[in-house]
Each structure stands twice: as structure tokens, then as C-alpha cells.
Structure 1
Amino acid sequence: MKTILIVDDEPRTREGVRKTLEAWSSGKHRIEMAASGVEALQWLQREIAHLVITDIRMPEIGGLELIERLQDVKNPPVIIVISGYSEFDYARKALQHGVVDYLLKPLDKRKLVAAVESALAKGERQQQIERMERLVDPKLLEAAQQEKIYSVQVQEALEYVDGSLHEPVSLKEVAEALHLNSSYFSVLFKDQTGITFSEYLTRRRVQRAKELLAGTSLSVAEISERVGYQTAKYFVKVFRDHESVSPSQYRQGVTDTNEHI
């Protein structure tokens, strides 16, 4: 259930938006309200909002200041601005801070609902992108994007590694499988991929471990075996060296992010 926070110092507008969205959502979304920017920030210290709909002109903390502060919130919400003022400067400043829509009072109910649906969809896409960024190793992604220009030997080496992540693999073993001299293969691999074979293998093992941590309930010990490590202790050390967190902490972080979608 996604949470929508309505922030407006005018009770009539605040209640009107709430009633419209509650009728639209039919209980599928949690609708909350705050009568000021100050109250909204206090609420956001305790709760998480997926979407914030805020007036631009409010006492103490106005909408623009609230929007700026929301950028520092963990899992920042998507934002829709509403206002009785049609000055372009307000809209321009709001859009510069990532606001997804700008609606003028008096609000058209159909436009409000359409804006909310669009904003929630954008929020989901952002969460999915952030989750994928946490899963994907940028160096492996770069290597994959360049794979078409690799020599046949390097392409076969990458395929060999991907098919053998669950067991011990060495540079010598791969070179022999490709009928190449180990030293020559080592230089060839680094020249074309930009990283050593050993670094690629480790990154690929960690990448697979991240996928298993995020997508399965396998224990850390079971995952360490599936990605070719003899002991869970050594696997945890390698994982922490690459991700700066333990496998368990990484799994918890990914789980928390999913819960907030």
C-alpha cells in the first residue's frame, strides 16, 4: 500500500484533495494530511510517503523549501505541487527540484487523479532503477556492453566463467580449455576487458551472490557455495571488500527498498 501525503495550510483544499483521492483509491492507498511544511517534515521523520502533494505558498516552511528538504530524505517521494498562483517562476523552480507535476487551483479532480497516477508510476520506475543499480556491477555492465567487439577467445572465456561460478575456476584452467598459453590469455583478457581475469571472476561471483541475496531465501552459507567459495567466512570477507557491507546487510537493504515501493 503506497502512502500519499497532502500538505496544505488551507483546510478546504486539504480535505477536498483527501476526499477525491480516497474515492479514487478505494482503500488501495493510504492518504495522510499535514497542515504545514513543519508538520509534514515532522510526520516524515516517523513515516514514509511515496508521493507528496504540496501547496507552494505556506507559512513558516513554504512548498519550495519543503521540496528542497525532501531531497535529503531516505527514499525521497515523488512530488506534485498545487498552487493558486500561476507565476511561471514558481513552476520553474519547483520543476528544477524534480517535481513531476504542477497543478493550479481550483483543482480539476480528473487532472488531479491523472497526475497522481502518473507520479506513482514514475516513483515505481525510479525504485526499480535504483534497485537494479544496486544489483549491477558497473564494471561488469561495461564489459557486457563491449562484448560484441571481443575476440572469440575472450567471449568463450566469459561464457566459461558464467557456466562455472559454482565451482573453483582458475586462469590456467580457462586458458587450457581455450587451448591458449596462460600468460598470453592473461594479457589478452585484460587488454580487451580492461580488468584482470581474477578481478572479473571475483566481480562476477559477487554479482551472482547479490542476485541470489535479493531474489532467494538461501542462507549466506548456501550462496557462498553456489558462487564457488570454499568457506562462508572467506565469501563474507570478499563480499564486504567489494560492497562495503556484509551479505546479510546487503540483503536487508534490498528488502527494505522493496518494502518501500
Structure 2
Amino acid sequence: MKHILVVDDEPRTREGVSKTLRMWASGEYEITTAQSGKEALLWLDQHDACLLLTDIRMPEMNGLELAEQITKLPHPPVIIILSGYSDFEYARSALKFGVVDYLLKPIEKNKLIQAVEHALEKEARNEQIDKMQKLIDFRLLQASQHNNLYNPHVKKALAYIEEHFHKQISLQQVADHLPINASYFSVLFKEQTGMTFSDYLTRHRIQHAKGLLTSTSLTVTEIAEQVGYQTAKYFIKVFRMLEQTSPSQYRQQWLQDGQKIQ
């Protein structure tokens, strides 16, 4: 279950906001409270929150200092600042720390709910962007965007790789297919795509493997075979080298992020 963290040193405000959010959430979100910025950071060290609402004036660590610290977290929540009228301009400066909204005290319940729903929509968009970044190899994407500028030999080579990546292919084999001198082809390919033939082929195979990991229930061994690796052991080694995680861990993380295998 996703968490929303409410941080305020004033018990009345803290409990009022959390009570309103619990009624609104109807069990869909876990509402947690903290009475100081330091307590909030300790909690965030052990848990993830999708949204944080924090008072701007608190002892020891104010809301802006808390927001700045939160930007350093691996998965920072989106933030709503709670402030009094005298803090209005002060609260606006928090926008540089990724704060998506600020509410003036005393807080109207309907405005609180509207701000929370808006913030969660932004959090969902951020999460989707993060997922796409994990799925897409941007070096391959960049290479494909420049395809129309490539030498005809390189264009044909890329098409050949797309058609045969699931088989055992080599630079010499592709050069013979063009046909072109293998040494010249190697230099030309790297010059135009920014990658060696081997690097491109590996990235292309792993890109397809990530698609299969996130959209099918095929085993790692089956996926290894489908993307051109003779053994699952070597496939796992290459996958870990590029993604800093194993294929199984990659799939598990994708599922934990809310995706479903068809």
C-alpha cells in the first residue's frame, strides 16, 4: 500500500489533516504522521512515501530544509507545503525543491483533497516516466532517431540485426551479407552509431529481453533463447552488466511498481 506522510509540529493540524485524508483515502493509502522534520527523515529512511505534506515552520528543521533533504532520496515523494499567510512568499520559494503545491492555514478540507489529488496525479506521471526510463535503452533510441542519416551499408546492417538478432550472428556475417570489408564496416558502424557492432547487438538483445520480462511469463531460459543467447548463464551475466540487476530481479521490480504480466 502507498503511504502519505503528514509532518507538522502542531498536533491539532497534524491530526486534522491526517483524519481528513484517511476518510478520503478509504483504505487506498496508508496515512502516517510525524511531528518534526527529523522524525520524518527517520521514517523515510525505512519507508517510501508517494506524497508528503509538511508544515513550513517547525523547530530544528523547517519544511524547506526537509524538502531539500528529501530531494536526495532514491525515490522522493511529491511535496505539498502547509503555511500561514505570513509564510506565503517563503512557501513559494519551495518550488525549486519539487514542491507541487502549498496550502494556507487554516486549511479548507475541499482544497486539501483537491491539492492531494493533483499531487498524486503528478506522482503517477513521474512514476510512469521512471518506468519508461528503466525499460528503454536511450542509446538505442538515439541511434534509431538518426537512422535516415546513416550510410546505406549501416542502414542495411541495422535491418539485418533486427531480423536476425535471435540467432547467432557476427560482424563478419553481417559484413558478408552487405557485402563489405569487415574492418571497414566495423569502423563505419561505430563512427555512425556511436557504438561498436558488438555493443549495439548486445543492447538490442537486452532491450527485447526487457520487453519479454515485463510483458510475458516466459522463463529466463526461454527469454535467453529468444534473444539469441545459447545459455541462460551468459544471458544473465550480460543483462546484469548492462542493467546492474539480474533478469529475475528486474521482472520482480517491475511487478512491484504495479505492472502486470499478461
What is the TM-score with the length of structure 2 in the denominator? 0.87
1:53 to partner: Cα distance: 0.6
Is the deviation greater in 115-124 or in 157-166? 157-166
Is 2:45 the partner of 1:37?
no
> Does the C-alpha gap of structure 1 residues 55 and 166 become closer, same or farther in structure 2, counting only changes over 3 Å?
same
How far, CA to CA, are the matches of 1:167 and 1:110 in structure 2?
A: 59
Aligned residues: 259
Structure 2 partner of 1:191: 191
1:133 matches 2:133? yes
User: 1:198/1:43 Cα in 2 relative to 1: closer, same or farther (>3 Å)?
Assistant: closer
Task: Give CA deviations for 1:190-211 in whole Å, capped at 9, x if unaligned.
Answer: 2321222222111111222222
Measured in 2, the distance between the counterparts of 1:211 and 1:57 equals 47
Asked if structure 1 preserves the Cα contact closer than 8 Å seen for 2:6 and 2:17, the reply is yes
Give the structure, 1 or 2, with the largest relative contact order (CA under 8 Å, sep 6 or more). 1
Matched, 1:161 2:161: yes
In 1, the alpha carbon distance for the partners of 2:100 and 2:86 equals 17
Deviation of the 1:120 alpha carbon: 0.7
Amino acid at match of 1:8: D
Separation (CA, whole Å) in 1 of partners of 2:258 and 2:148 = 34
Structure 1 residues 158 and 39: alpha-carbon distance in aligned structure 2, compared to 1, 3 A threshold? same
Q: More displaced, 74-83 or 240-249?
A: 240-249
| Contact 1:161-1:201 at 8 Å conserved across structures | yes
Quote the Cα distance in structure 2 between the aligned partners of 1:34 and 1:186: 59
Task: Report what 1:2 is aligned to.
Answer: 2
Q: Which residue of 1 aligns with 2:22?
A: 22
For residue 139 of structure 1, report the CA deviation from its aligned partner: 1.6
After superposition, the CA RMSD in angstroms is 2.4
1:218: Cα distance to partner? 2.6
CA distance in 2, matches of 1:74, 1:194: 30
Partner residue, 2:117 = 117
Quote the Cα distance in structure 1 between the aligned partners of 2:7 and 2:56: 9
In 2 relative to 1, CA 257–26 (structure 1 residues): closer, same or farther, beyond 3 Å? closer
Deviation at 1:37, TM superposition (A): 2.1
Tell me how far apart the structure 2 counterparts of residues 193 and 22 of structure 1 sit (CA, whole Å): 53
Q: Percent identity?
A: 58
User: Structure 1 stretches of 5 or more lacking a match?
Assistant: none
Q: Rate the CA distance shift 1:31–1:158 in 2: closer, same or farther, 3 A.
A: same
Query: Which residue type is aligned with residue 44 of structure 1?
Result: L
